[in-house]
Amino acid sequence: MDQHAEHHHYQYKAQGESEVTANVTYRDAIITIELKDKHGKAPELGVSHEKEMHLIVVSADLKEYIHGHPEKQADGVYMLQRELRDNDYKVFVDIAPKNLSYTVSPITLHVGHVYHPNHGNELKVDTDFVKMVDGYSVELKANNIEAGQDISLLFDLRGATPEPYLGALGHVVILDENAEHFIHVHPVSDDKTQFKTVLTEAGKYKLWAEFQFDGEVYVYAYVIEIK
């Protein structure tokens, strides 16, 4: 990987074998994550973008999105206080265990008595890539969106000045429409809101871009199609 590897091209797929397993439970507005290696012991985690763990939670229909940072409670046990509505969710535990292989894979979480079998989502591809959240407008400019090719995701912040957030000017999470393949991307450099990645399969994808303005983190959601 090149010198900017710390900033971009974090691509995780369900391939190979993880030496760490994650178990996720939810009770009384607390999400609990328990980590174990093959020997049943707690793995030691490295720090990635200022945190030991990034937790991504999306509803099965991809309409709800949460990016949180669980706090360590004991060896191998992390907790995040967050109220979840009754729904089905996919959870992605984004960690970097030291000296152990790990693949970020979806973990299904059922909250309440609602259960929707996954028949696949029918995402509607955006035609307007300008999104407004609380007065801040952000435009996505995507180039060369073809399967297997380097894809450039440039975000025009329309004059707003982003603040460093978790060691970068922004974060992008990408999921395929079945929420099976997870990609976490960071900017190509410290001073640009441009991201690069590769999507190997054609289809529809939803991405969430996070930027911090005036001390608040804002999330912008887009749906793109890879030919």
Please say whether the structural domain 10-111 has been given the CATH code 3.40.190.10.
no
Q: How confident is the model at residue 16 (pLDDT cuts 50, 70, 90)?
A: low
Q: How far apart (Å, rounded) are the C-alpha atoms in residues 33 and 178? A: 23
Strand partners, 111: 87
Q: Outline which parts of the chain fall under CATH 2.60.40.1220.
A: 130-226
Least confident of 36-40, 111-115, 119-123, 180-184: 119-123
Q: How far apart (Å, rounded) are the C-alpha atoms in residues 150 and 200? A: 10
Region 29-38: mean pLDDT is: 97
| Bigger pLDDT: 166 vs 219 | 219
> pLDDT tens across 69-105, in order?
999 999 999 999 999 999 999 999 999 999 999 999 9
- Give the pLDDT score at 117: 62
Domain 130-226 fold is Immunoglobulin-like (2.60.40)
Contact call for residues 94 and 22 (beta carbons, < 8 A): no
Q: Outline which parts of the chain fall under CATH 2.60.40.10.
A: 10-111
What Rg value do the Cα atoms of the chain yield, rounded?
17
- Strands of the 136-143 sheet, one edge to the other: 130-133, 136-143, 150-156, 194-198
pTM of the model: 0.89
Statement: residue 6 has pLDDT above 80: no
Statement: residue 3 has pLDDT above 90: no
Statement: residue 9 has pLDDT above 50: no
> pLDDT tens across 155-169, in order?
999 999 999 999 999
Q: How confident is the model at residue 54 (pLDDT cuts 50, 70, 90)?
A: very high
Statement: residue 10 has pLDDT above 80: no
Q: How far apart (Å, rounded) are the C-alpha atoms in residues 57 and 68? A: 8
